[in-house]
Copies of this chain bind each other. A is one copy, B any other.
Amino acid sequence: MTKHTIILQPSGRRGQIEEGTSVRTAARELGVEIESICAENATCGKCMVLIEEGRFEKYNIDSKRENVSPVTIEEANYFKRRPKLLKDKGWEVGQVRLSCQCRIRGDVLINVPEESRGNKQIVRKTARERQIEIKPAIRKYLVSMSPPTLERPIADWERLAKGLETSMGLVRGAEEKLPRWYELYIDYQCLRTLSKTLRDAKWQVTVSVWNDKEVIQVQPGYHEDSYGAAVDIGSTTVALYLCNLRTGELLAAESEMNPQIVYGEDVMSRIQYTIEHPDGLEKLHKAIIATLNKLLKQAVKSANEKIKEDSGLDTSGESARSTRPVGITLDDILEMVLVGNSTMHHILLNLHPNYLGLAPFVPAIHESVDVKARELGLQINPSGNIHVLPTIASFVGADTSGMILAEEPHKQDENWLLIDVGTNAELVLGNRKRLVCTSTPTGPALEGAHVEYGMRAAPGAIERVHIDEKTLEPKYKIVGEEEWNTGKAKGICGSAIIDAVAELFRAEIVDSRGRFRKELKSKRVREGEAGWEYVIAWAEETSIGRDIPITQQDVRQIQLAKAALFVAARTLLKRSNLQSPDKIILAGGFGSYIDKEKAMLIGLIPDCELQNVYAVGNAAGDGARIALLNIEKRNEIDSVTRKVERFELPTDPDFQNQFMLATSFPHMSEPFEHIAHLIPHHKADPMAKNFMK
């Protein structure tokens, strides 16, 4: 029977589905529930999906709308009765389908809109509460002026500037010799509405000044607060934090899948897309801008709910007092600070990323960029500034700058190793005297993708695995479940894959070279369709009705990924004449969910005191927030990144050899003292222990 490749967005689930299967059934088979309450009769409309067109480098899929069955009469009738829905969403029939009616005819990419999803995805990037000194780029001043008269008909801007100058002590042309750009000026778009605002406000306004030099907002009356957004653009997830710039308070944290995933899963395939398609960059750029605007709107909505709630609590019983409208608008957001890897950085700024992917791997710009929101089409206040943190190298981007800013290795005496793990890993090592950095592709295996039953950290995902070394029986924990071994499993997420591989090694089910020990007597260790495998969950324990194993191929994927990461870390250590780092800081969502002991056991990270291994979550996003709330930090990170030394791994003569040695668990030739007690070989052979010392 013919099968076709189906990819479901935004979950990223994918698999082979038989021709003729309905999209809704196909989705269920792949672990994605789509709503339906009409028993698939094309009447409830709950199961709407979007048939996307796009190209998947990785899978050689040219997804087309003809790869599904034509629109049925029932569907056509359903949509004919709902012209407003189509108009509001901007959908056309054929693009939007009822997934219960629409059948698979070929490879296809399907987007399941949020309203159709049976279980909402958990995007695990949340903002940590941090102590950040508040020194925002925006300051607000209340200015009262006397209205103009025939005797004193000074122009509106000069009147306002005079008011600002006298009451706030801002320098304005005080010294004749100063060139013009030292002076206070007003953003052109802000000037456009100034005259009306001043009169509407009866000459009492709140002026927002950016960087002590540019007036970017004039509001009638008195306003205390201004707002800003920090954004981390990941290749997979975009996270936005809306903050009060006066108090630093986090008002909303929103996230969305990066829509560019339709054009390529990793940065290299997106770069490739922009090279192969003349309008490729424009498409990718517009996609991320649209998503940022969506996140901004969502954040404003969330913030207003929060503000309303807070003010409701504060003024309970005295509601008559609050006469001012509570809440903020997009126009009140006066600045954004963004981070992202170099490719995301370039696409955000509409800079062609083609040279990022070609030797000698050069970005268009290192230093931070300031550009008006309106230039990028970001729908905050059009006079607002967009600040993008500096890039360090082609594969060490503004996200790494954010991580450095958040973790501050450049202020330490100890040598810290910072690792941000994604499909690409960036590593920074050093202290106040010297920082070195590099990057390495680790592949998507560490994030649960490209693993046979891999999936993202959503309900139904196995997130923890323990294997009894005697019985070889597993225990597992599923996302969303309190207890171990409860719930129905759908797949395995990143943290559980590390767990599983480490446990397979610890329980001696695979050897130090990652090979399954075929001689073991356990029904869980068996030869499957694609080679040897270990079954974590039997079909009856799953919601997909199939056994969920870890395969030989999965173990190999992890070996390649961890070897790449380890060699990168070892190279930096060698360049710094260090044997091991004093501390290891794991950034990124991934770092927060893995078991650090098990990560060390498979040699994913260098040997180190376990208590000195920290997971800090989204450090890049934290860095963006810090730079948003404290303008001095922007100069600091600009200055630090200028001094970071970059190394390209492939230029290291010993690279191939190092990589080979690093594929073993934990490593062919490195001592791993701190987890030595877990290494089976050592337990079995005390001689080996001596060899290590």
A residues bordering B, Cβ < 8 Å?
A: 148-151, 153-158, 176, 179-181, 186, 188-189, 191-192, 194-196, 199, 211, 213, 349-352, 354-355, 359-367, 369-371, 375, 391, 393-394, 634-635, 638-639, 646, 648, 651
Which B residues lie within 8 Å of A352 (CB)?
A: 192, 195-196
Inter-subunit contact A150/B360 (CB<8 Å): yes
- Cα of A83 to Cα of B350 in the assembled complex, Å: 38
- Cα of A199 to Cα of B186 in the assembled complex, Å: 37
Closest to A159 in B: B362
Give, as a whole number of angstroms, the nearest-CB distance from A332 to chain B: 23
Contact status of A188 and B369, CB under 8 A, knowing A155-B362, A180-B635, A639-B176:
yes
Inter-subunit contact B391/A360 (CB<8 Å): no
Q: Residue A367 contacts which of B151, B158, B394, B646 (CB distance < 8 angstroms)? A: B158
Give, as a whole number of angstroms, the nearest-CB distance from A313 to chain B: 41
- Cα of A370 to Cα of B211 in the assembled complex, Å: 19
- Cα of A391 to Cα of B191 in the assembled complex, Å: 15
Which B residues lie within 8 Å of A362 (CB)?
A: 148, 153-156, 195
Contact status of A365 and B157, CB under 8 A, knowing A191-B351, A192-B350, A352-B195:
yes
- Cα of A149 to Cα of B363 in the assembled complex, Å: 12
- Cα of A350 to Cα of B196 in the assembled complex, Å: 13
8 residue pairs of the A-B complex, CB under 8 angstroms, read A149-B360, A150-B359, A153-B362, A155-B363, A157-B365, A176-B639, A191-B364, A192-B351
Inter-subunit contact B158/A365 (CB<8 Å): yes
Known pairs A153-B393, A155-B391, A156-B362 / 10 extra A-B pairs, C-beta < 8 Å: A148-B360, A148-B362, A154-B366, A155-B362, A155-B364, A155-B366, A180-B638, A188-B371, A195-B362, A199-B355
Q: How many copies does the complex hold?
A: 2
Which B residues lie within 8 Å of A365 (CB)?
A: 155-158, 186, 191, 194
Closest 10 CB pairs of A and B: A157-B365, A155-B366, A155-B363, A188-B371, A148-B362, A150-B360, A195-B364, A153-B360, A148-B360, A156-B364
Closest to A353 in B: B195
- Cα of A538 to Cα of B392 in the assembled complex, Å: 84
Closest to A369 in B: B188
Max chain B CB contacts within 10 Å: which of A188, A349, A369, A635?
A188
Give, as a whole number of angstroms, the nearest-CB distance from A627 to chain B: 13
Give, as a whole number of angstroms, the nearest-CB distance from A372 to chain B: 8
Which B residues lie within 8 Å of A367 (CB)?
A: 157-158
Give, as a whole number of angstroms, the nearest-CB distance from A275 to chain B: 12
Closest to A213 in B: B181
Which B residues lie within 8 Å of A351 (CB)?
A: 191-192, 195
- Cα of A369 to Cα of B191 in the assembled complex, Å: 10
